[in-house]
Structure 1
Amino acid sequence: MRLINRHPGKHGARLLAVVPFIALIVLYLTASAVRHAANPMDKLLPTLSQMASAVNLMAFTQDMATGDYLMLTDTLSSLQRLIEGLVISIGISFVIGIAVGMLPYLRKLCVPFIAAFSMVPPLAILPILFIIAGIGETAKVTLIVIGTAPFMIRDLIMRVEEMPKAQLIKAQTLGASSWQMALRVVVPQMLPRLIDSLRLSLGPAWIYLISAEAIAAQDGLGYRIFLVRRYFAMDVIIPYVIWITLLAFIFDVSLRLTQRYAFPWFAGAKSQ
Protein backbone atom coordinates (compact mmCIF):
# COMPACT_ATOMS: atom_id res chain seq x y z
CA MET A 1 0.00 0.00 0.00
CA ARG A 2 1.26 3.48 -0.87
CA LEU A 3 2.22 5.75 2.02
CA ILE A 4 -0.30 8.34 0.86
CA ASN A 5 -3.10 5.86 1.56
CA ARG A 6 -1.93 4.82 5.01
CA HIS A 7 -3.63 6.43 7.99
CA PRO A 8 -2.73 6.00 11.68
CA GLY A 9 -5.34 4.63 14.04
CA LYS A 10 -6.88 6.66 16.84
CA HIS A 11 -4.26 5.73 19.43
CA GLY A 12 -1.46 5.96 16.89
CA ALA A 13 -2.50 9.47 15.94
CA ARG A 14 -2.41 10.56 19.58
CA LEU A 15 1.01 9.03 20.03
CA LEU A 16 2.37 10.74 16.93
CA ALA A 17 0.96 14.07 18.15
CA VAL A 18 2.97 13.99 21.41
CA VAL A 19 6.24 12.71 19.93
CA PRO A 20 7.53 16.16 18.80
CA PHE A 21 6.77 17.65 22.24
CA ILE A 22 8.58 14.83 24.04
CA ALA A 23 11.53 15.15 21.66
CA LEU A 24 11.75 18.91 22.29
CA ILE A 25 11.64 18.42 26.07
CA VAL A 26 14.31 15.71 25.98
CA LEU A 27 16.51 17.87 23.74
CA TYR A 28 16.17 20.85 26.08
CA LEU A 29 16.85 18.83 29.23
CA THR A 30 19.91 17.25 27.64
CA ALA A 31 21.31 20.58 26.48
CA SER A 32 20.60 22.16 29.88
CA ALA A 33 22.35 19.31 31.72
CA VAL A 34 25.39 19.58 29.45
CA ARG A 35 25.69 23.35 29.92
CA HIS A 36 25.24 23.17 33.71
CA ALA A 37 27.77 20.38 33.95
CA ALA A 38 30.29 22.68 32.29
CA ASN A 39 29.10 25.81 34.14
CA PRO A 40 26.78 25.50 37.14
CA MET A 41 26.07 29.24 36.95
CA ASP A 42 24.83 29.07 33.36
CA LYS A 43 21.73 31.23 32.74
CA LEU A 44 20.99 30.46 29.09
CA LEU A 45 19.29 27.10 29.64
CA PRO A 46 17.91 27.01 33.20
CA THR A 47 17.06 23.70 34.81
CA LEU A 48 13.52 22.64 35.61
CA SER A 49 14.07 23.37 39.29
CA GLN A 50 15.25 26.90 38.50
CA MET A 51 12.22 27.55 36.32
CA ALA A 52 9.92 26.08 38.98
CA SER A 53 11.39 28.46 41.56
CA ALA A 54 10.91 31.41 39.20
CA VAL A 55 7.28 30.42 38.51
CA ASN A 56 6.65 30.12 42.24
CA LEU A 57 8.08 33.62 42.74
CA MET A 58 6.14 35.21 39.85
CA ALA A 59 2.83 33.35 40.14
CA PHE A 60 2.39 32.35 43.77
CA THR A 61 4.32 34.95 45.77
CA GLN A 62 3.03 38.46 46.36
CA ASP A 63 5.25 41.22 45.04
CA MET A 64 6.72 43.20 47.94
CA ALA A 65 6.23 46.54 46.21
CA THR A 66 2.67 46.16 44.91
CA GLY A 67 1.23 43.19 46.77
CA ASP A 68 0.16 41.66 43.44
CA TYR A 69 0.80 38.23 42.02
CA LEU A 70 2.78 39.45 39.02
CA MET A 71 2.08 36.59 36.61
CA LEU A 72 -1.66 36.81 37.27
CA THR A 73 -1.65 40.58 36.87
CA ASP A 74 0.34 40.33 33.64
CA THR A 75 -1.95 37.65 32.26
CA LEU A 76 -5.16 39.54 33.00
CA SER A 77 -3.78 42.75 31.49
CA SER A 78 -2.64 41.03 28.31
CA LEU A 79 -5.86 39.04 27.91
CA GLN A 80 -7.95 42.19 28.32
CA ARG A 81 -6.02 43.95 25.55
CA LEU A 82 -6.09 40.90 23.29
CA ILE A 83 -9.81 40.25 23.69
CA GLU A 84 -10.73 43.91 23.21
CA GLY A 85 -8.71 44.09 20.01
CA LEU A 86 -10.09 40.84 18.61
CA VAL A 87 -13.69 41.71 19.45
CA ILE A 88 -13.37 45.01 17.59
CA SER A 89 -11.71 43.23 14.66
CA ILE A 90 -14.49 40.65 14.52
CA GLY A 91 -17.20 43.33 14.42
CA ILE A 92 -15.47 45.38 11.74
CA SER A 93 -14.48 42.38 9.65
CA PHE A 94 -17.87 40.70 9.70
CA VAL A 95 -19.81 43.78 8.61
CA ILE A 96 -17.35 44.96 5.97
CA GLY A 97 -16.50 41.48 4.71
CA ILE A 98 -20.10 40.51 4.06
CA ALA A 99 -21.10 43.89 2.62
CA VAL A 100 -18.14 44.09 0.25
CA GLY A 101 -18.42 40.42 -0.69
CA MET A 102 -22.10 40.75 -1.61
CA LEU A 103 -22.25 44.12 -3.36
CA PRO A 104 -20.32 44.52 -6.66
CA TYR A 105 -20.04 48.31 -6.34
CA LEU A 106 -18.45 47.98 -2.90
CA ARG A 107 -16.07 45.33 -4.21
CA LYS A 108 -14.80 47.64 -6.92
CA LEU A 109 -14.56 50.52 -4.45
CA CYS A 110 -13.02 48.82 -1.42
CA VAL A 111 -11.11 45.68 -2.42
CA PRO A 112 -8.03 47.46 -3.86
CA PHE A 113 -7.79 49.73 -0.81
CA ILE A 114 -8.25 46.85 1.64
CA ALA A 115 -5.63 44.79 -0.20
CA ALA A 116 -3.15 47.67 -0.13
CA PHE A 117 -3.86 48.50 3.53
CA SER A 118 -3.37 44.88 4.56
CA MET A 119 0.19 45.04 3.20
CA VAL A 120 1.20 47.81 5.62
CA PRO A 121 3.39 46.23 8.35
CA PRO A 122 1.48 46.96 11.58
CA LEU A 123 4.64 47.11 13.67
CA ALA A 124 6.02 49.80 11.36
CA ILE A 125 3.17 52.15 12.28
CA LEU A 126 3.38 51.44 16.01
CA PRO A 127 5.39 54.66 16.63
CA ILE A 128 2.70 56.60 14.75
CA LEU A 129 0.03 55.07 16.98
CA PHE A 130 1.96 56.06 20.10
CA ILE A 131 2.28 59.62 18.79
CA ILE A 132 -1.42 59.89 17.89
CA ALA A 133 -3.06 57.86 20.66
CA GLY A 134 -0.41 58.02 23.36
CA ILE A 135 1.19 55.06 25.11
CA GLY A 136 -1.98 53.95 26.89
CA GLU A 137 -4.33 51.08 26.14
CA THR A 138 -5.83 52.65 23.01
CA ALA A 139 -2.65 52.32 20.96
CA LYS A 140 -2.11 48.68 21.97
CA VAL A 141 -5.68 47.65 21.14
CA THR A 142 -5.59 49.62 17.90
CA LEU A 143 -2.42 47.81 16.82
CA ILE A 144 -4.17 44.46 17.24
CA VAL A 145 -7.14 45.71 15.21
CA ILE A 146 -4.94 47.07 12.42
CA GLY A 147 -2.94 43.86 12.36
CA THR A 148 -5.85 41.41 12.24
CA ALA A 149 -8.91 43.13 10.76
CA PRO A 150 -7.65 43.57 7.16
CA PHE A 151 -6.74 39.89 6.90
CA MET A 152 -10.11 38.79 8.30
CA ILE A 153 -11.95 41.18 5.97
CA ARG A 154 -10.15 39.84 2.90
CA ASP A 155 -10.77 36.26 3.98
CA LEU A 156 -14.51 36.83 4.49
CA ILE A 157 -14.82 38.65 1.15
CA MET A 158 -13.34 35.62 -0.60
CA ARG A 159 -15.59 33.25 1.34
CA VAL A 160 -18.68 35.24 0.31
CA GLU A 161 -17.56 35.26 -3.32
CA GLU A 162 -17.09 31.48 -3.21
CA MET A 163 -20.68 30.85 -2.16
CA PRO A 164 -22.72 28.95 -4.80
CA LYS A 165 -24.46 31.55 -6.95
CA ALA A 166 -27.47 29.24 -7.17
CA GLN A 167 -28.28 29.95 -3.52
CA LEU A 168 -28.57 33.69 -4.11
CA ILE A 169 -30.48 33.18 -7.35
CA LYS A 170 -33.02 30.93 -5.60
CA ALA A 171 -33.40 33.45 -2.78
CA GLN A 172 -34.08 36.21 -5.30
CA THR A 173 -36.56 33.99 -7.12
CA LEU A 174 -38.45 33.61 -3.86
CA GLY A 175 -38.58 37.40 -3.53
CA ALA A 176 -35.82 37.97 -0.98
CA SER A 177 -34.33 41.45 -0.77
CA SER A 178 -30.58 42.09 -0.48
CA TRP A 179 -31.00 42.58 3.27
CA GLN A 180 -32.90 39.30 3.63
CA MET A 181 -30.33 37.42 1.58
CA ALA A 182 -27.58 38.81 3.78
CA LEU A 183 -29.31 37.80 7.02
CA ARG A 184 -30.76 34.43 5.97
CA VAL A 185 -28.33 33.11 3.38
CA VAL A 186 -24.93 34.74 3.76
CA VAL A 187 -24.57 35.43 7.50
CA PRO A 188 -25.39 31.87 8.69
CA GLN A 189 -22.75 30.47 6.35
CA MET A 190 -20.12 33.07 7.22
CA LEU A 191 -20.29 32.66 11.00
CA PRO A 192 -18.32 29.37 11.13
CA ARG A 193 -15.90 30.72 8.52
CA LEU A 194 -15.36 33.77 10.71
CA ILE A 195 -14.21 31.43 13.47
CA ASP A 196 -11.67 29.88 11.09
CA SER A 197 -10.44 33.35 10.19
CA LEU A 198 -10.20 34.31 13.86
CA ARG A 199 -8.19 31.18 14.64
CA LEU A 200 -5.69 32.07 11.92
CA SER A 201 -5.43 35.60 13.32
CA LEU A 202 -4.62 34.54 16.88
CA GLY A 203 -0.90 34.13 16.24
CA PRO A 204 -0.41 37.59 14.68
CA ALA A 205 -2.62 39.15 17.37
CA TRP A 206 -0.31 37.80 20.09
CA ILE A 207 2.73 39.10 18.20
CA TYR A 208 1.29 42.61 18.01
CA LEU A 209 0.24 42.52 21.65
CA ILE A 210 3.63 41.40 22.93
CA SER A 211 5.40 43.96 20.73
CA ALA A 212 3.25 46.83 21.97
CA GLU A 213 3.66 45.79 25.61
CA ALA A 214 7.41 45.46 25.20
CA ILE A 215 7.72 49.06 24.03
CA ALA A 216 5.25 50.91 26.25
CA ALA A 217 3.45 49.24 29.15
CA GLN A 218 3.53 48.93 32.91
CA ASP A 219 2.21 45.38 33.01
CA GLY A 220 1.47 42.50 30.70
CA LEU A 221 3.22 39.34 29.57
CA GLY A 222 5.26 41.10 26.90
CA TYR A 223 6.25 43.86 29.31
CA ARG A 224 7.50 41.34 31.86
CA ILE A 225 9.54 39.36 29.34
CA PHE A 226 11.36 42.43 28.08
CA LEU A 227 11.80 43.79 31.60
CA VAL A 228 13.64 40.72 32.93
CA ARG A 229 15.70 40.14 29.78
CA ARG A 230 18.17 42.81 30.96
CA TYR A 231 18.97 40.47 33.87
CA PHE A 232 19.27 37.43 31.55
CA ALA A 233 16.45 35.88 33.58
CA MET A 234 15.77 32.95 31.25
CA ASP A 235 14.20 31.09 34.17
CA VAL A 236 11.39 33.67 33.99
CA ILE A 237 11.33 34.24 30.23
CA ILE A 238 10.95 30.59 29.21
CA PRO A 239 7.99 29.88 31.54
CA TYR A 240 6.33 33.09 30.33
CA VAL A 241 6.78 32.03 26.71
CA ILE A 242 5.36 28.59 27.52
CA TRP A 243 2.43 30.23 29.31
CA ILE A 244 1.69 32.49 26.33
CA THR A 245 1.81 29.46 24.04
CA LEU A 246 -0.55 27.56 26.33
CA LEU A 247 -3.01 30.48 26.42
CA ALA A 248 -2.97 30.72 22.63
CA PHE A 249 -3.53 26.97 22.37
CA ILE A 250 -6.48 27.16 24.78
CA PHE A 251 -8.00 29.96 22.68
CA ASP A 252 -7.59 27.89 19.52
CA VAL A 253 -9.12 24.75 21.02
CA SER A 254 -12.02 26.75 22.48
CA LEU A 255 -12.78 28.28 19.08
CA ARG A 256 -12.57 24.91 17.37
CA LEU A 257 -14.96 23.33 19.87
CA THR A 258 -17.32 26.30 19.57
CA GLN A 259 -17.37 25.88 15.82
CA ARG A 260 -17.94 22.14 16.08
CA TYR A 261 -20.90 22.33 18.46
CA ALA A 262 -22.47 25.57 17.24
CA PHE A 263 -22.20 24.68 13.54
CA PRO A 264 -22.14 20.87 13.26
CA TRP A 265 -23.14 21.03 9.59
CA PHE A 266 -19.97 22.98 8.78
CA ALA A 267 -17.68 20.61 10.69
CA GLY A 268 -19.33 17.69 8.89
CA ALA A 269 -18.80 19.29 5.50
CA LYS A 270 -15.10 19.95 6.25
CA SER A 271 -14.50 16.33 7.22
CA GLN A 272 -15.78 14.99 3.92
Structure 2
Amino acid sequence: MKRLINLTPSRGGRWLLGLLPFLLLAMLYMSLSNARLAENPNDRLLPTPSNMASTFYHLATAENVRTGEVVLWTDTFASLERIVIGVGISALIGLVVGIVNGGIPIIRAKFSPLVTVASLIPPMAILPILFIAFGTGEAAKIALIVIGVTPFLIRDLQGHALRLPDEQLIKAQTLGASSWQVMLRVLLPQLTPRLLNATRLALGTAWLFLIAAEAIAAQEGLGYRIFLVRRYLSMDVILPYVAWITLLAFLLDQLLAWVSRLAFPWYHAGEGDKS
Protein backbone atom coordinates (compact mmCIF):
# COMPACT_ATOMS: atom_id res chain seq x y z
CA MET A 1 0.00 0.00 0.00
CA LYS A 2 1.37 3.37 -1.01
CA ARG A 3 1.90 5.93 1.69
CA LEU A 4 0.04 9.21 1.38
CA ILE A 5 3.32 11.12 1.08
CA ASN A 6 4.19 9.14 -2.07
CA LEU A 7 0.87 9.60 -3.91
CA THR A 8 1.31 12.01 -6.84
CA PRO A 9 -1.76 13.09 -8.83
CA SER A 10 -1.72 13.22 -12.61
CA ARG A 11 -1.69 16.53 -14.46
CA GLY A 12 -5.47 16.41 -14.88
CA GLY A 13 -5.88 15.39 -11.27
CA ARG A 14 -3.83 18.37 -10.13
CA TRP A 15 -6.16 20.70 -12.03
CA LEU A 16 -9.24 19.10 -10.49
CA LEU A 17 -7.80 19.16 -6.99
CA GLY A 18 -6.73 22.77 -7.50
CA LEU A 19 -10.22 23.81 -8.62
CA LEU A 20 -11.99 22.00 -5.80
CA PRO A 21 -11.34 24.64 -3.06
CA PHE A 22 -12.57 27.39 -5.39
CA LEU A 23 -15.76 25.47 -6.14
CA LEU A 24 -16.36 24.92 -2.43
CA LEU A 25 -15.83 28.62 -1.69
CA ALA A 26 -18.19 29.57 -4.53
CA MET A 27 -20.86 27.21 -3.19
CA LEU A 28 -20.43 28.62 0.32
CA TYR A 29 -20.73 32.20 -0.99
CA MET A 30 -23.87 31.34 -2.99
CA SER A 31 -25.43 29.76 0.07
CA LEU A 32 -24.70 32.76 2.31
CA SER A 33 -25.76 35.25 -0.36
CA ASN A 34 -29.07 33.48 -0.99
CA ALA A 35 -29.77 33.32 2.74
CA ARG A 36 -29.14 37.06 3.27
CA LEU A 37 -31.10 38.11 0.20
CA ALA A 38 -34.00 35.89 1.23
CA GLU A 39 -34.23 37.86 4.48
CA ASN A 40 -33.61 41.25 2.87
CA PRO A 41 -33.74 41.59 -0.95
CA ASN A 42 -31.99 44.99 -0.66
CA ASP A 43 -29.01 43.59 1.26
CA ARG A 44 -25.75 44.89 -0.24
CA LEU A 45 -23.22 42.87 1.72
CA LEU A 46 -23.27 39.68 -0.37
CA PRO A 47 -24.55 40.52 -3.87
CA THR A 48 -25.40 37.77 -6.32
CA PRO A 49 -22.81 36.73 -8.93
CA SER A 50 -25.10 38.02 -11.69
CA ASN A 51 -25.25 41.43 -10.03
CA MET A 52 -21.46 41.56 -9.67
CA ALA A 53 -20.97 40.43 -13.26
CA SER A 54 -23.35 43.14 -14.50
CA THR A 55 -21.57 45.84 -12.51
CA PHE A 56 -18.14 44.63 -13.62
CA TYR A 57 -19.24 44.61 -17.27
CA HIS A 58 -20.50 48.16 -16.90
CA LEU A 59 -17.21 49.30 -15.38
CA ALA A 60 -15.28 47.55 -18.17
CA THR A 61 -17.30 48.98 -21.08
CA ALA A 62 -19.10 52.21 -20.13
CA GLU A 63 -17.28 55.52 -20.48
CA ASN A 64 -17.21 57.98 -17.62
CA VAL A 65 -19.48 60.91 -18.50
CA ARG A 66 -17.08 63.48 -17.07
CA THR A 67 -13.74 62.14 -18.35
CA GLY A 68 -14.74 59.91 -21.25
CA GLU A 69 -12.53 57.09 -19.86
CA VAL A 70 -13.55 53.52 -19.10
CA VAL A 71 -13.19 53.22 -15.32
CA LEU A 72 -11.91 49.66 -15.03
CA TRP A 73 -9.17 50.00 -17.63
CA THR A 74 -8.09 53.42 -16.38
CA ASP A 75 -7.73 52.00 -12.86
CA THR A 76 -6.01 48.85 -14.12
CA PHE A 77 -3.41 50.61 -16.26
CA ALA A 78 -2.63 53.11 -13.49
CA SER A 79 -2.08 50.36 -10.92
CA LEU A 80 -0.12 48.12 -13.28
CA GLU A 81 2.19 50.98 -14.22
CA ARG A 82 2.92 51.68 -10.56
CA ILE A 83 3.45 48.04 -9.62
CA VAL A 84 5.69 47.27 -12.61
CA ILE A 85 7.87 50.35 -12.07
CA GLY A 86 8.09 49.82 -8.31
CA VAL A 87 8.89 46.12 -8.50
CA GLY A 88 11.28 46.70 -11.41
CA ILE A 89 13.27 49.27 -9.46
CA SER A 90 13.26 47.00 -6.41
CA ALA A 91 14.51 44.05 -8.45
CA LEU A 92 17.33 46.08 -10.00
CA ILE A 93 18.49 47.47 -6.65
CA GLY A 94 18.07 44.09 -5.00
CA LEU A 95 20.18 42.35 -7.63
CA VAL A 96 23.02 44.88 -7.57
CA VAL A 97 23.22 45.24 -3.80
CA GLY A 98 22.59 41.53 -3.21
CA ILE A 99 25.49 40.55 -5.47
CA VAL A 100 27.87 43.13 -3.99
CA ASN A 101 26.91 42.34 -0.40
CA GLY A 102 27.06 38.61 -1.03
CA GLY A 103 30.33 38.69 -2.93
CA ILE A 104 32.49 41.25 -1.11
CA PRO A 105 32.85 40.65 2.66
CA ILE A 106 34.17 44.13 3.46
CA ILE A 107 31.09 45.73 1.87
CA ARG A 108 28.79 43.19 3.47
CA ALA A 109 30.18 44.06 6.90
CA LYS A 110 29.29 47.73 6.34
CA PHE A 111 25.90 47.50 4.63
CA SER A 112 24.37 44.22 5.76
CA PRO A 113 23.33 45.59 9.20
CA LEU A 114 21.76 48.62 7.49
CA VAL A 115 19.76 46.38 5.14
CA THR A 116 18.64 44.24 8.07
CA VAL A 117 17.42 47.27 10.02
CA ALA A 118 15.72 48.72 6.92
CA SER A 119 13.86 45.46 6.36
CA LEU A 120 12.39 45.72 9.87
CA ILE A 121 10.91 49.19 9.37
CA PRO A 122 7.16 48.95 8.67
CA PRO A 123 6.81 50.72 5.30
CA MET A 124 3.26 51.85 6.11
CA ALA A 125 4.61 53.75 9.12
CA ILE A 126 6.70 55.99 6.87
CA LEU A 127 4.01 56.55 4.25
CA PRO A 128 3.21 60.03 5.67
CA ILE A 129 6.91 60.87 5.39
CA LEU A 130 6.90 59.79 1.74
CA PHE A 131 3.88 61.97 1.01
CA ILE A 132 5.61 64.93 2.68
CA ALA A 133 8.87 64.30 0.80
CA PHE A 134 7.49 63.38 -2.61
CA GLY A 135 3.98 64.83 -2.54
CA THR A 136 0.88 62.82 -3.34
CA GLY A 137 1.89 62.00 -6.91
CA GLU A 138 3.29 58.82 -8.42
CA ALA A 139 6.72 59.07 -6.78
CA ALA A 140 5.42 58.46 -3.25
CA LYS A 141 3.43 55.37 -4.29
CA ILE A 142 6.36 53.88 -6.19
CA ALA A 143 8.76 54.73 -3.36
CA LEU A 144 6.55 52.85 -0.89
CA ILE A 145 6.74 49.72 -3.03
CA VAL A 146 10.51 50.08 -3.41
CA ILE A 147 11.09 50.61 0.31
CA GLY A 148 8.83 47.70 1.21
CA VAL A 149 10.18 45.15 -1.28
CA THR A 150 13.86 45.97 -1.86
CA PRO A 151 15.27 44.95 1.58
CA PHE A 152 13.60 41.54 1.27
CA LEU A 153 15.13 40.96 -2.16
CA ILE A 154 18.57 42.10 -1.00
CA ARG A 155 18.58 39.80 2.01
CA ASP A 156 17.33 36.85 -0.03
CA LEU A 157 19.94 37.27 -2.77
CA GLN A 158 22.72 37.97 -0.30
CA GLY A 159 21.87 34.82 1.62
CA HIS A 160 21.75 32.77 -1.57
CA ALA A 161 25.14 34.14 -2.63
CA LEU A 162 26.63 33.12 0.69
CA ARG A 163 25.24 29.59 0.28
CA LEU A 164 26.98 29.01 -3.06
CA PRO A 165 29.78 26.42 -2.87
CA ASP A 166 33.15 27.96 -2.06
CA GLU A 167 34.68 25.69 -4.71
CA GLN A 168 33.09 27.77 -7.47
CA LEU A 169 34.63 31.00 -6.20
CA ILE A 170 38.02 29.38 -5.60
CA LYS A 171 38.14 27.82 -9.07
CA ALA A 172 37.20 31.10 -10.74
CA GLN A 173 39.97 32.93 -8.89
CA THR A 174 42.43 30.13 -9.66
CA LEU A 175 41.69 30.68 -13.35
CA GLY A 176 42.60 34.34 -12.93
CA ALA A 177 39.19 35.95 -12.44
CA SER A 178 39.14 39.30 -10.65
CA SER A 179 36.59 40.16 -7.96
CA TRP A 180 34.27 41.84 -10.48
CA GLN A 181 34.60 38.94 -12.90
CA VAL A 182 33.66 36.51 -10.14
CA MET A 183 30.54 38.53 -9.41
CA LEU A 184 29.60 38.89 -13.09
CA ARG A 185 30.51 35.39 -14.27
CA VAL A 186 29.73 33.29 -11.18
CA LEU A 187 27.30 35.14 -8.92
CA LEU A 188 25.16 37.00 -11.47
CA PRO A 189 24.09 33.96 -13.53
CA GLN A 190 23.11 32.04 -10.40
CA LEU A 191 21.41 34.90 -8.59
CA THR A 192 19.29 36.11 -11.51
CA PRO A 193 16.86 33.15 -11.48
CA ARG A 194 16.78 33.42 -7.71
CA LEU A 195 15.82 37.09 -8.15
CA LEU A 196 12.85 36.13 -10.34
CA ASN A 197 11.72 33.60 -7.75
CA ALA A 198 12.08 36.08 -4.90
CA THR A 199 10.23 38.73 -6.90
CA ARG A 200 7.32 36.32 -7.32
CA LEU A 201 7.19 35.91 -3.56
CA ALA A 202 7.30 39.68 -3.07
CA LEU A 203 4.47 40.48 -5.49
CA GLY A 204 1.78 40.05 -2.85
CA THR A 205 3.55 42.49 -0.54
CA ALA A 206 4.03 44.95 -3.40
CA TRP A 207 0.31 44.89 -4.19
CA LEU A 208 -0.47 45.46 -0.52
CA PHE A 209 1.65 48.62 -0.42
CA LEU A 210 0.23 49.83 -3.72
CA ILE A 211 -3.40 49.41 -2.64
CA ALA A 212 -2.68 51.18 0.65
CA ALA A 213 -1.00 54.12 -1.08
CA GLU A 214 -3.79 54.43 -3.67
CA ALA A 215 -6.41 54.33 -0.94
CA ILE A 216 -4.88 57.35 0.79
CA ALA A 217 -3.89 59.57 -2.12
CA ALA A 218 -4.82 58.82 -5.73
CA GLN A 219 -7.22 59.89 -8.44
CA GLU A 220 -7.28 56.54 -10.22
CA GLY A 221 -6.21 53.01 -9.47
CA LEU A 222 -7.70 49.76 -8.26
CA GLY A 223 -7.07 50.55 -4.58
CA TYR A 224 -8.46 54.05 -5.03
CA ARG A 225 -11.69 52.70 -6.52
CA ILE A 226 -12.20 50.13 -3.77
CA PHE A 227 -11.85 52.69 -0.99
CA LEU A 228 -13.91 55.24 -2.91
CA VAL A 229 -17.00 53.01 -3.07
CA ARG A 230 -16.67 51.44 0.37
CA ARG A 231 -18.64 54.31 1.93
CA TYR A 232 -21.62 53.26 -0.17
CA LEU A 233 -21.21 49.56 0.75
CA SER A 234 -20.90 48.81 -2.98
CA MET A 235 -19.81 45.22 -2.59
CA ASP A 236 -20.84 44.56 -6.18
CA VAL A 237 -17.85 46.76 -7.11
CA ILE A 238 -15.45 45.84 -4.31
CA LEU A 239 -15.62 42.06 -4.66
CA PRO A 240 -15.09 42.02 -8.46
CA TYR A 241 -12.20 44.47 -8.05
CA VAL A 242 -10.61 42.22 -5.43
CA ALA A 243 -11.00 39.26 -7.79
CA TRP A 244 -9.55 41.34 -10.65
CA ILE A 245 -6.52 42.35 -8.56
CA THR A 246 -5.99 38.69 -7.64
CA LEU A 247 -6.13 37.69 -11.31
CA LEU A 248 -3.63 40.40 -12.30
CA ALA A 249 -1.27 39.34 -9.50
CA PHE A 250 -1.59 35.70 -10.62
CA LEU A 251 -0.83 36.60 -14.24
CA LEU A 252 2.25 38.61 -13.22
CA ASP A 253 3.40 35.70 -11.07
CA GLN A 254 2.97 33.24 -13.94
CA LEU A 255 4.73 35.61 -16.35
CA LEU A 256 7.78 35.72 -14.07
CA ALA A 257 7.65 31.94 -13.70
CA TRP A 258 7.51 31.51 -17.48
CA VAL A 259 10.44 33.88 -18.02
CA SER A 260 12.44 32.04 -15.38
CA ARG A 261 11.77 28.61 -16.89
CA LEU A 262 12.51 29.88 -20.40
CA ALA A 263 15.75 31.71 -19.54
CA PHE A 264 17.07 29.39 -16.82
CA PRO A 265 15.84 25.83 -17.45
CA TRP A 266 18.74 24.43 -15.42
CA TYR A 267 17.43 26.22 -12.32
CA HIS A 268 14.10 24.35 -12.55
CA ALA A 269 15.56 20.99 -13.61
CA GLY A 270 14.95 19.43 -10.21
CA GLU A 271 11.36 20.56 -9.84
CA GLY A 272 8.88 17.74 -9.90
CA ASP A 273 5.85 20.02 -10.34
CA LYS A 274 6.34 23.27 -12.20
CA SER A 275 4.37 26.20 -10.84
- TM-score bracket, normalised by the shorter chain, equals over 0.9
Instruction: Kindly provide the amino acid, as one letter, of the partner of residue 49 in structure 2.
Output: L
Please show how residues 146-161 of structure 1 align to structure 2 within 5 Å.
146-161=147-162
Q: What is the aligned partner in structure 2 of residue 98 from structure 1?
A: 99
| 2-structure distance, mates of 1:268, 1:126 | 41
Q: TM-score, normalised by structure 1?
A: 0.98
Structure 1 residue 10: deviation in Å? 2.2
Q: What is the aligned partner in structure 2 of residue 213 from structure 1?
A: 214
Q: TM-score, normalised by structure 2?
A: 0.97
Structure 1 residue 270: deviation in Å? 4.0
Whether 2:102 is the aligned partner of 1:108: answer no
Number of aligned residues: 272
SS of the equivalent of 1:66 reads: coil
| 1-structure distance, mates of 2:23, 2:53 | 19
| 1-structure distance, mates of 2:190, 2:118 | 26
Distance 1:262 1:121, change over 3 A: same
| 2-structure distance, mates of 1:179, 1:103 | 10
Structure 1 residue 77: deviation in Å? 0.4
| 1-structure distance, mates of 2:198, 2:14 | 26
Please show how residues 48-67 of structure 1 align to structure 2 within 5 Å.
48-67=49-68
Q: What is the aligned partner in structure 2 of residue 22 from structure 1?
A: 23
| 2-structure distance, mates of 1:163, 1:38 | 62
Structure 1 residue 271: deviation in Å? 4.1
Structure 1 residue 56: deviation in Å? 2.0
Whether 2:199 is the aligned partner of 1:198: answer yes
Deviates more, 1:48-57 or 1:156-165: 48-57
Whether 2:139 is the aligned partner of 1:142: answer no
Query: Residues 100-145 of structure 1: CA distance to partner in whole angstroms, max 9, x if unpaired?
Result: 0001111111111111110000001001111111111110000000
Moved over 6 A (4+): none
| 2-structure distance, mates of 1:271, 1:45 | 40
Give unpaired runs (5+ residues) of structure 2: none
Share of identical aligned residues, percent? 53
Please show how residues 126-141 of structure 1 align to structure 2 within 5 Å.
126-141=127-142
Give unpaired runs (5+ residues) of structure 1: none
Q: What is the aligned partner in structure 1 of residue 183 from structure 2?
A: 182
Q: What is the aligned partner in structure 1 of residue 225 from structure 2?
A: 224
| 2-structure distance, mates of 1:2, 1:188 | 39
Alpha-carbon RMSD: 1.1
SS of the equivalent of 1:218 reads: coil
SS of the equivalent of 2:47 reads: coil
Query: Residues 193-227 of structure 1: CA distance to partner in whole angstroms, max 9, x if unpaired?
Result: 00011001100000000000000000000000000
